[in-house]
Structure formats: structure tokens, C-alpha cells
Amino acid sequence: MQNFHYYKPVSMTELWATISEISGSPVFLSGGTDLFPEMKLGKRSLDHVVDVKGISELEFASSEENQAIRIGANMTLSNLLEKDLFPPSMVFLKQAISSIGSLQIRNRATLIGNICRASPASDSVPPLICLGAKVKIEDGRNGRYLEVEDFLKGPGQTQLEEKEMVTEVMIPNPSGKSTGSFIKADRVSKDLAIVNVAVFIKLDSDGTTCSDAKIVLGAVGPTAVRVKAGEHLLIGKTISNLPSDEAADLAVKSCRPISDVRATADYRKALVHVLTRRAINNAAKDLYLH
Amino acid sequence: MLTHCIHLIVNETKYEVEVESKEFLSDVLRDKLHLTGTKESCGMGDCGACTVIMDGVTVTSCLILAVEADGKEIVTVEGIAPGNGELHSIQKKFSEFGAIQCGFCTPGMIMSAKALLDRNQTPSEAEIKDAIGGNLCRCTGYIKIIRAIAGAAEDLKQQERS
Amino acid sequence: MDDKTYSLIGTRVPKVDDEPKMTGSGIYVYDMKLPGMLFGKVLRSPHPHAEILKVDTSKALRVPGVRAVITAEDTPKKPFSFVQNLADKLPLCDKRVRYVGDEVAAVAAETKESAAEAAKKIHVEYKILPSLDDPLDAIKPGAVKIHEDRENIAFEVHKEFGNLEEAFKTADFVFEDTFTTSRQHHACLEPRGCVAQFDPFGKLTVWSPCQAPHTLKQELSRLLEMNQGDIRIVKPLVGGAFGRGLVADMIEPIAAILSKKTRRPVKIVKDRPEDFSTSRTRYPFIMKLKTAVTKEGRIIAKQAEVIADNGAYNDKGPAVINFAGVCYTTQYDVKNLKYDAYLVYTNKEYGTAFRGFGNPQLQFAFESQLDDIAYKLGIDPVKIRLINANRPGTQTVTGAMIHSCGMVECIEEACAAAKWNERDSSSKKEALKVKGVGMSVVFHTGAGSRYYGYNSSSAFIKVSDDGKVSLITPATDMGQGAETVMAQIAAETIGVNIEDVIVRTGDTDLTSYELGAFGSRTTFVCGNAVKATAEKAREEVLSLAGEMLGVTKEHLVTAKGRIGIKESPDILIDAVPFGEVIKYGITKKGRSIAVSGEYFDPIAPTVSLTEGYGIHIPAWVSACFIVEVEVDVDTGFVKVLNVWAANDSGTIINRNMAEGQVEGGIVQGIGYSLTENFVIDNGRVVTDSYVDYKIPGAKDIPDIQCIFVEKKDKEGPFGAKGLGEHPLVAVAPAVGNAIYNAIGVRMKDLPFTPDKILSALRSKRLFEDNKG
């Protein structure tokens, strides 16, 4: 393994100054739990690694009443789980995060790292897309927000240009009565998802009809798959009678899974149907009972 | 920079080490500090054998650059016994309950147990399984490890009372 | 001696070697550092089958820090195999490579990195040959020969007893089924490694996590064309074995040759993907079973045809297919038997021993079929097993002598614990997550095998003037606790505390000849030798004590390291410590205590490989496992909820350790049954990481209740037999039977991954819809 330059700036100003002096493509390091295995397997070679963990400005997770939740690049998954951060409508995101890796991995890995890794099987991405989460991309001069859904381009590919970094995830706080459901199919505990499904349902003001829905599938396409047809099907229906079966049929039609060592494409499709149906029913039941 | 002079505080001892950027903490602990208690079985963070406690939480040392650990407080299996020939409750219970077979996963398991009991003195069985969920064992089937950790929790609680 | 008077046998005394393991001071091969040590790296074939045209090491030699680069030219080029007359493997391939991972060249360098870099720079020109990855293709006429000098059927076993034709003709029912199993990888936490060092006088020492040090010594003498007397094998702590350490790994002769060339110690440790791809696996079997029964359920004939996928080279394959047949033909005392097994070469990672040694495969098949037979006859699965169970004091038609046998008791106790009669045996269950309960009965060896013509052992004990008892035993501890069991046996027999026993093992310069830790034999064979030696030592100590105390031996008792006179008003107070007796011997009598003893199996040298089938097994162990599963009928996921494991391994010497073997074996068996899907694609092992090869974690385990039936064996030490393997063997069929009880589908192919279960459920629903 080739040696590389390692930098550890202690402020955002120093960060951008360091970046500007690097000729070549720097890699931003936070948790390293995806980066280092890839490096060890020879899938990535590193020349310049910029460790951002020393930057306290990136260590924040704020959630104020009815305000968006903002999570900085240095928040580890364990930190996020320990804080009283997520309102009831976002518990499914919390569940997804706690299904990532093992405790040791969650003690290092960050939410932003998980998003930027752009794995088709990411557990955090489907719930984040359901919630309309955005990433903030900065380059030292400007900052822009991009929906997570648009940020991800393909397996391992994002909209990040060279010398750009995601500094924050912003998750809008859903107004009104809403909830989500996240289901992950894995072979044993502490596994990558064979398929995961996140569903988010919002009720209208009289609390009986679905006013908004999101259905997002993971590990069945190059990036997370939005089942827009399924979402339209649910909108306007009564919560006690959501057409989850038909929506699940549409989910199967939307996905393009591959066969790999974890599962065949056919089996993944079968799971998509089951998990989508169950996730919709779980969310509906949750709203109906509360 | 390509090489760094770092300070590691391991088991309450300060070490000054020269490392290249690419060196991982597990290798530095084992090869430069000669603390071979921490094992490395996969190098990818999948098995937990290299688990150490860094700044109070468990981490897989095979995925941490030595330079990332500069200035950090690290506890390895060599550092949990209180000294004077005494063993930690976790170690005593592992032996008493028969939780050790080949022993290769044991250091990592013990560190996961230590971190758990440091923050939660009355863990449920589910919480214990969660704490060691990232530590693979091929020999024991986990049952005695879980019981040993529960036993250690009891032991520590009793010690605190007296 | 009455059970109740044992101070150590049957207790939960902690293991004698826990401390180095839990304090981090223990040294595994993985941790070893010797002065001047170099790091070795093997260059392996990327092709499943190819001719080696040219090997160019020039660029590798120029890498800074490289001290040697070797190819086949640096080796004696003498083919090797565990069974030498089936030899087919060179430590470094000369003209051909036969699997992805086959060793071609090796480097020794100052650092791991420079060794790896240099290995990459060795240039090999290959001519790719057609490869075979299906044993059924490999046995077709005209198939490419994987070894030019022989057929693709590497070995065959054919056994017949009784009158099969007659039995099938007169049977009430005959059942035919085919079952298949997969490779299973040991996935030991310690990656396979070794250290080799030649001293200036030509003596070689190899440190290896091996299970059979004396066998490894013999193997290296063949591989390296050296005298055995110039080879010493040392076994440090072992980070997992389960069979992988029974035959030399080619890194061992390779490291030795590198050491000879560089005159420095050389360490080779495989990285994790290399370990998965080359450390050898369990043999997958294709099994065709034909079974004849009476309408009452008595099995009157068993016939099996097995095709085992050998992989590219011979290893324990011949012994595995033979042993599988021995168990298959002995269980249930059937009078008419036929067993035909074929070991077939393919261009894949080859096989080796793995806990169960062929029995898990064939047991899975037969115990699954037996349940089907029971259902078709309308008989409870328990009843059919009770009807056919082996009983003590019987001899089977295969020649097996069943001395002690608790099979019936195991079945009864498991059923009682699991409340078998209260289970829901209906075939239609309506629920999202359906529960099911199934059982299996196992018959396995508890004392190794006489197959090798030798199943004896010996030991050495000295008692010192500090009261310590030093025990040198060849018993191989690989984590299962052999050293502790030997220490318990010695301490109990002599009458000292276990803390007073110092155990030394794992060094062929020191220990007597021993076949190794396999076939669940260590407690029985090595334990008997230790017991015999300890009895001798005790006798000698008592003689001296008698002289010292002025009484004859019959008046003396030993306990907790002291010797007392039976008739003494206060034995404890008047008792004399062992150390003082030895001091007396040394200072007053010119004697010290140093004895050797043995366990001799007289039958072993009389049984040949080809005759005497069942008689190969000195002692049989039985078990009945009942498993409860929960099946998610929409996803096919199976969770094992409970296992009730009733075991007869005779007297239990250490309860913690015995439970540890049962629990650990069960969890490995669950992996074998459900999640350990070993995938080879175009000859390349795809599942070469813990991410892809799924072994159970702490959240994947069931509740386990261990029951020990403890029918004393008359030959075993304190009545004990082995139990290392059968817990794994019993799991897959019980899980399969539980799944059948839950959802009415018979799974015939291991592992039962969720997609297969879902597929089977769908076929069943389709079939039922069409019927109705």
C-alpha cells in the first residue's frame, strides 16, 4: 500500500487553505469505515487524505422545535443515536441508522460518510430520501444544498466535484401527522442489506387520508429507487385502507436488482414486494393507532 | 505530511511513535508497542477481533490510522486488569463461565464488554448481544460469553455496594 | 470410586490456559516474532486450470528487502498427500495449476509489504486449460483429466453387507431421495499461518496451529525429503481449528524452504481472502439414498451412493467418504447395507477435515429422509427412531461393537425437555411467521478411529518436591480444552489440586507419538493414557509415603495435594503434602517420581483398511437434538429459536467445556444449515470475507438446553467419551425437519437460504392450487 499525505486542519478556514494547496484530488476523511477497506482491497489509492475530525465547527446535531434537523460531518452514527434528536415521525431513520454495521463501526462512521459512499445498499439513504433530506456541499467559497436523491448518481458516484465536501445533512421536520417505516432484509445480524425499504406517510389535517407518501427502495438499483407510481397510488386514500399490495406491485416494477453473492435478482424482487407491503401497512397502522 | 511523530496513551502509558500516514493503529499496537493482545483477523472491520477502547468507545483498530489516534486514550486487553496480580471482573467471569475456547476473539470481546459495563451497569441480555454484535466467535456459540458478561455486571454492582 | 466422591471430574473447573488468552499475553503463531524473522508471501494461480509455461522472478528479486524468491525448482518436487500413495500435490506447482489459489512461487522479505510487492512482480506465463467445476461433469467419459496420470475419480469406497436385493424385494416400502450439501469453511478467527526456522545444523523447527504435530512432522519429512529426526513441530496457542489443522498446509514446506535458503526464520500468514480461498473446506456431497422399511417403521435396508467434490487435490477426502459410510451403516443397526462413495476431482479449492468428517452430510440426508418416511407411514418421528435405535451391548452387521449407548435415553430426554408430544404436528399452519419443531438422532465416534492401524497414546508424569505434578501429554489443545481435561484426569487420579498440575504439550521433541486431535478422540485416547500414567505415579508416591509414614499403601488416601492415613483421627491435620513426600524420597531414599504410562488399543493394528468397517470405531456417542424454528413464509427467512440437545458422551469431565462444545457445535451447525453459503464462480471463491461468508453472530443464536445422559463407557477414562463433533452433525437435519413441520416443504439442498425456502413454498402452493 502506498503511503500518502495526511492533514488534520483544526478549523474550516484551515481546511480550505489546506485543500487549495493540494495539487491532485484530496480525500476527505471522517469515519474511514468504508474508505479504508476499499484502500486495503486496492480499490482506491490515496495521495492526500484530509482528516476533518479536528474541525469542531463540523461537530453539531441540532434539532429545534419544528425546525429542520442539521447534522454536521463529524457526528458519528453512535452520537446521533444517543442524542434525543429525532421526533416520532423520524424514528424509522433512527432504526435505519442503528442497523448499519456493528457498534464498533457506528462509533466511527458518520451519516454524511454513509451518504457520500453512495452504496446502493445504504441503510440511511432510503429514509433520508423519504424525508426530503438535503446535503450541503461546500468548496471554501460557496455552499449549496442538494436533495440526497439528486446528490447520488450511481454506485460510488455523487455530484461532488474535486475539492468539494459535504459539511451538513439537513432534514426538514415534517409538519402535521406523519410517520415512516424502515425494513431491512439481511441474512444475519450486522449484515449489508439484501433489500431495504423505507416508506413515509403523511396524513391530511383531518387525520384520515394520506396526503403525501414516499416509497424508497435500497439495494435494488444503482442508487435508491423512488417508487413514484406507488406513492401516487397511496395519496388520497384512507389510512385504514391503503392499497399496499398494489403499491408493492408497482415497487417491483420500478426496481432493477442484480444477482450477486447475497441474493438473486428474482429473490430481491420477491422481497421488494413483501417489504414494501409490510412497510406501508406498518406505517399506516402506526398512524391509525396514534 | 507522510510521516508523523505521534503520542498514544495506551493503558495509561504515554508512547511517542514515528509512523507513516498509512500505518493502522492495530499494526502499531502490535508491532511497535508489542501489545499483541489485540488480534487482527480480517483487517476490514468485519470481525471485531481488533476491538480496542478509544476515548471511551469501542472501535475496530484495523480501520483507524495510527495518526488518527494521536493524543487519544486507548485501552487494550492488556490494560484492564487493576494490577497487583488481580484480574478484572470481566476476565474472572469469562474464565468462571467457560467463555473462552481458542481465545482469539477473547480480547475483542472483553473490550466490548468493558465498554458496555463502563456505561451500563445493568445490561439486559439484548443489550449485551448488541454490545458484542460486532465481535465474531467461531468456537463458543456466544452463550457463555453473554452469561459471563452478565455475571461481571453483577460482580461490579456488588463491588460498588461494598 | 463412586461418582459422588469426584473432586474434579464432572465439575466446572476453569480452564488451565485461560489467563494468557484473556490478558493478551498468549502467543499464537499470528503473534510470533523471532529475531531476524522474514515475512513470506505466496504467489498463487489466478486460473482454475492452466499449464505453467514460464516463471520469471527477476523483477521480484530486485525489490528492496527481498531475500529469496523460490519456485518449484527450489523444491524436491516430490508429490505429496495425506495418504502418500494418493500423492498428487507439489508445494509449488511445477507444470500445472489446478485451482485458483494453487501455489506457484514464494518470496521472503524483510517486511510484509516488500514481500507482497515482490510477489506481484513475479511474472508467470500460463496456458489456460479447460476447467471442471462440477463433479458430475468430471466423471463423464472424455472429461478433461485434472491430473494427467489418473482418472478424475480420485478414490472410491464400496461396502456391502447382508442381502440388499432380497430386502428391497420384500420390504413394505422403499423410499428414494437425493440430497446435496455445500462447502463449509472453518472461518477460524486466526488466519492460517506458520513460522519456520532452520538452525545452523540443519534442524528445522516449524511453529504451526496444527492439530496433529507428529503427523505434520512426518508430512514435512516427505515434502522436504528430510529425516524426521531433523524436524521439530511446535504448536503454540491455536486460534481455531475444527479440522483445518490436520493436514499440512503448503505454506509450511514453503516457509521451510525459504528459511533454508535465507538462513533466517520465515513467517507466512495468509490474509483473510487468501485464508477463505486456500485453507480448504468441508467436502460437498451429492447423496442418493434408497431405504427400505417395514410398515411398522423398522429399517431393513439402507443404500447410499455418494459423490463427493474433492476439489483439485487429495487430502482427507478418502477418509471422509469412508467415515461417512461407517456412521451411515452402523446407525440404526440395519442388516442389509450398501455404500458406494466416489471422491471426484474438480478445479476448485480442495477439501480437508471439518468437524463431523462426512457425517454431517450423510446424516442430513438420512435423518431428513427418515422423517419423510415416518410421515408417509403415519408414525411419529420419535417412534420410528426408537424402533430403530442402537442399543448397548450389540454388534452390528458392519462389525461395530456398541458398548455403551444412550441413544434411547437421549431421545427420551430431549423429547421431555422439548415437550415433543405437545408440539403442533398439523400440516397446515396459518401465520406470517410459522413455528415448527423437528428432531434428529446422531451416531458418531467418541474415540477416534482405528482406521490408521493405531489408536493408542502415552504420557509422562513427574512429581516434584514442591508438590507440583508435571504432565507431558501429546493431547492437542486447539481451544476445546484438552489440556484442562488432561489436568483434571491427572489431578483427580493422583489426588492433587488442579492448580498443582503443569501441563506441557505441543512439542514433538517432548511428547510421545500421537495421531492428533480429530475424531473426538482426545478425551478417550489421551485421557486414558494420562489416567494410566497418573495411577502409576500415585502408586509410587504412595509407596514412598508409606515408607515415610510407616504404614502400607492400603491405609493411605490422597486428596487436594496431601496424603493422609485413613485411620487417623483427623486426616486433614495429619496429612502430609506431596512435596514433602518427594523431598523425603530425594533426601532419604535416593529416589524421585518420574513415570510414563500408556493406553494401548490392541484391536487397531489388527484391523485393515479394507476389512473391518464398523470395528474401526472404539466407542460410539449418540445424541438427539430437537430444534424449534420460526419461518417467515413471505420472505423465507428462518430463525432458530430453541435447541434441546441431549447427548450421551459418557461421563462428562468438565461441564463448562462440554456445554461449550455442544453450544459451539450447534451454532456452527446453524451456519451450515442456513447462512454459510460458500460460492465459487468460475473457479474463484467469491465469498472470501466475513461480509460475504456469513457465520452466525451473537444476535443469531437460539436458546440452547444441554442435557447430558452420561451412560458410563467401560473403556473411557472415568467412563468418558468424546463430544467435539456430533453437536454440529445433529443440527442440519433437525433444522430441516423443523422447517418441514412448520411449512410442509422438504429442503434437500444445504444451506437453506431464504430464496430456496421461498421457492419451495411457492412450488408447494402452486402444486396445491393445481391439485385443488
In angstroms, rounded to a whole number, what is the distance separating the alpha carbons of residues A182 and A196?
A: 7
| Residue C611: pLDDT over 80 | no
C676 and C579: one domain?
no
pLDDT at C584: 97
Q: How far is C438 from chain A (nearest CA, A)?
A: 22
C444 with C466, same domain: the answer is no
pLDDT greater than 60 at residue C404: yes
**C357 CB-contact burial (10 Å; exposed 0-12 / middle 13-18 / buried 19+):** buried
Instruction: Kindly report, as residue ranges, where domains of CATH 3.10.20.30 are found in chain B.
Output: 3-79
Mean pLDDT, residues C641-652: 97
Q: What is the pLDDT of residue C246?
A: 98
- Using the Cβ of B110 and the Cβ atoms of chain C, whether some distance falls under 8 Å is answered with yes
> CB distance from A22 to chain B under 8 Å?
no
B62 and C CB contact within 8 Å: no
Radius of gyration of chain B (CA): 16
Is C472 inside any structural domain?
A: yes
Which of C204, C183, C394 lies closest to C276, judged by CA? C183
A3, A33, A189 ranked by CB distance to B22: nearest: A3
Which residues on chain C are in Cβ contact (under 8 Å) with A264? 755
| Other chains touching C, judged by 3 or more CB pairs under 8 Å | A, B
Is the distance from CB of C647 to CB of C668 less than 8 angstroms? no
- Residues of A in Cβ contact (< 8 Å) with C691: 191-192
Q: Tell me which residues of chain A, numbers 247 to 266, contact chain C at a CB-CB cutoff of 8 Å.
A: 261-264, 266
The answer for residues whose C-beta is within 8 angstroms of residue B35's C-beta and 6 or more apart is B10, B11, B29, B76, B78, C24
Mean pLDDT of chain C: 96
Closest Cα in chain A to B71 = A54
Residue A280 has pLDDT above 80, yes or no: yes
- Whether C379 and chain A come into contact, CB under 8 Å, resolves to no
**Do you know the residue count of chain A?**
290
Interface check for A173 against chain B (CB to CB < 8 A): the answer is no
**C487 and C623 part of one domain:** no
Please write down the HEC assignment for all residues of chain A: CCCCEEECCCCHHHHHHHHHHCCCCEEEECCCCCHHHHHHCCCCCCCEEEECCCCHHHCCEECCCCCCEEEECCCEHHHHHHCCCCCHHHHHHHHHHHCCCCHHHHCCCEHHHHHHHCCCCCCCHHHHHHCCCEEEEECCCCEEEEEHHHHEEECCEECCCCCCEEEEEEECCCCCCEEEEEEEECCCCCCCCCEEEEEEEEECCCCCEEEEEEEEEECCCCCCEECHHHHHHHCCCEHHHCCHHHHHHHHHHHCCCCCCCCCCHHHHHHHHHHHHHHHHHHHHHHHHHC
Q: For C133-148, what is each residue's pLDDT tens digit?
A: 999 999 999 999 999 9
The 10s digit of each residue's pLDDT in C81-96 is 999 999 999 999 999 9
The answer, yes or no, to whether residue C242 has pLDDT greater than 50, is: yes
Q: Which domain holds residue A190?
A: 178-289
> Rounded CA gap, C648 and C37, in Å?
48
Q: Which residues of chain C does B148 touch, with a Cβ-Cβ cutoff of 8 Å?
A: none
pLDDT of residue C2: 44
As beta bridge partners, residue C5 has: none
- The DSSP secondary-structure symbol of C694 reads -
Query: Any residues with CB less than 8 A from the CB of C735 and at least 6 apart, and which?
Result: C438, C627, C629, C638, C640, C669, C670, C673, C674, C752
Instruction: Report the residue of chain A nearest C691, measured CA to CA.
Output: A191
Task: Name the DSSP class of C676.
Answer: -
pLDDT band at C474 (very low <50, low <70, confident <90, very high): very high
Residue C175's beta-bridge partner residues?
Answer: C291
**Quick one: closest CA in B to A45, which residue?**
B22
Stretch B67-85: mean pLDDT, rounded? 96
CATH of the domain at C65: 3.90.1170.50
Measured distance CA(C218)–CA(C232) in Å, rounded? 10
- Reference C357, options C525, C243, C240; nearest CA is C243
The structural domain count of chain C equals 3
**Distance (Å) from the C-alpha of residue B133 to the closest C-alpha of chain C?**
5
Q: CB B101 to CB C660 under 8 A?
A: yes
Superfamily of domain B3-79: Beta-grasp domain (3.10.20.30)
Q: What DSSP designation does C749 have?
A: B
Do the domain assignments include residue C143? no
Q: Are C8 and C492 in contact (CB under 8 A)?
A: yes
Helix ranges (DSSP H) in C434-526: 482-494
List alpha helices for C199-316, DSSP H.
213-224, 251-262, 272-278
C-alpha span between A25 and A1 (Å, rounded): 18
Q: Are residues C440 and C533 in the same domain?
A: no
A62 in contact with chain C, both atoms CB, cutoff 8 A: no
At residue C769, the pLDDT reads: 83
- Cβ distance of A267 and C697 shorter than 8 Å: no
Per the document, the length of chain C is: 772
pLDDT, averaged across chain A:
95
C656 and B105 within 8 Å at the Cβ level: the answer is no
Which residue of A lies nearest to B134 if distances are taken between CA atoms? A102
pLDDT per position as a tens digit, C698-736: 999 999 999 999 999 999 999 999 999 999 999 999 999
Q: Between chains, do A274 and C635 touch, taking CB under 8 Å as contact?
A: yes
B82/chain A closest Cα distance in angstroms:
24
C103: Cα separation from own chain's centroid: 25
pLDDT digits (tens, 9 = 90+) for B89-98: 999 999 999 9
Chain B (74-103) residues lying within 8 Å, Cβ to Cβ, of chain A: none
Q: CB–CB of C518/C49 below 8 Å?
A: no
Cell of A213: 407518501
Look at residue C166 and tell me if it is in a domain: no
User: What's the pLDDT at C702?
Assistant: 98
| Residue C1 confidence (pLDDT) | 41
Facing residue for B138 by CB, picked from C25, C189, C704: C189
Residues of A in contact with C679 (CB under 8 A): 261
Same domain, C40 and C88: yes
CB pairs under 8 A between B and C: 165
Element spanning C440, H or E: strand C433-445
Which chains are adjacent to chain B, needing at least 3 Cβ pairs under 8 Å? A, C
Give A259's contacts (C-beta < 8 A, 6+ positions apart).
A265, A266
DSSP string, C28-91: BGGG---TT-EEEEEEE-SSSSEEEEEEE-HHHHTSTTEEEEE-GGGS----B-SSGGG--B-S
Supply the CATH number for residue C586's domain.
Answer: 3.30.365.10
Q: Cβ separation of B133 and A189 shorter than 8 Å? A: yes
Whether residue C497 is found in the same domain as residue C554: yes
Whole-angstrom distance, CA of residue C703 vs CA of residue C473: 36
Q: What local confidence, expressed as pLDDT, does residue C173 receive?
A: 98
**Domain end residue (candidates: A40, A55, A70):** A55
Nearest CA in chain B to A36: B63
Please check whether residue A189 touches C, CB under 8 A. yes
Pick the last residue of a domain from C600, C627, C651.
Answer: C600
C170-204 pLDDT, tens per residue? 999 999 999 999 999 999 999 999 999 999 999 99
Residue C242: φ, ψ to 5°: 60, 20
CA–CA distance, A127 with C58 (Å, rounded to integer): 55
Question: Contact C303/C341 with Cβ under 8 angstroms?
Answer: no
Q: Which helix (H) or strand (E) holds C142?
A: none
Chain C residues touching A271 at Cβ < 8 A: 635
How many Å apart are CA C683 and CA C309, to the nearest integer?
A: 13
pLDDT score of C315: 98
Q: State the smallest CA–CA distance between residue B162 and chain C in angstroms.
A: 26
Residues of B in contact with C20 (CB under 8 A): 103
Q: Is A83 on the interface with B (CB under 8 A)?
A: no
**Number of Cα atoms under 13 Å in the Cβ half of residue A63:** 15
- Contacts of residue A29 in chain B, CB cutoff 8 Å? 68
Residue B91 has a CB neighbour count (10 Å cut-off) of 25
Q: Answer whether B130 touches A (CB < 8 Å).
A: yes
Mutation to test the A interface, candidates C41, C432, C678, C694, most A Cβ within 10 Å: C694
- How distant is the Cα of C504 from the closest Cα of chain A, in angstroms? 38
Q: Which domain holds residue C37?
A: 32-129+189-241+245-278
Q: Which of A10, A36, A55 is the last residue of a domain?
A: A55
CA distances from C355 to B139, C381, C672 (A): 12, 26, 11
pLDDT tens digits along A53-86: 999 999 999 987 778 999 999 999 999 999 989 9
Set of chain C residues whose Cβ sits within 8 Å of the Cβ of A187: 675, 694, 753-754
CATH code for the part of the protein at B89-161: 1.10.150.120
Percentage of the residues of chain A whose pLDDT score is greater than 70: 100
Q: Do C755 and A1 touch (CB under 8 A)?
A: no
d(C-alpha C547, C-alpha C545), whole Å: 5
Task: Count other C-beta atoms under 10 Å from residue C225's C-beta.
Answer: 11
**What confidence score (pLDDT) does residue C601 get?**
95
In chain B, where does the domain assigned CATH 1.10.150.120 lie? 89-161
Contact between B142 and C701 (Cβ < 8 Å): yes
Q: How confident is the model at residue C4 (pLDDT cuts 50, 70, 90)?
A: low
Question: Domain with A238 in it: what CATH number?
Answer: 3.30.390.50
Burial (0-12, 13-18, 19+ Cβ within 10 Å), C550 = exposed
Indicate whether A165 belongs to any domain.
Answer: no
Do C440 and C461 belong to one domain? no
Beta-bridge partner residues of C279:
none
Q: Dig out the grid coordinates for B58 from the structure.
A: 469501542
Count how many domains chain A has: 2
Asked whether C441 and C622 are in contact (CB, 8 A), the reply is yes
Please compute the mean of the pLDDT values over residues A116-140 and round it to a whole number.
97
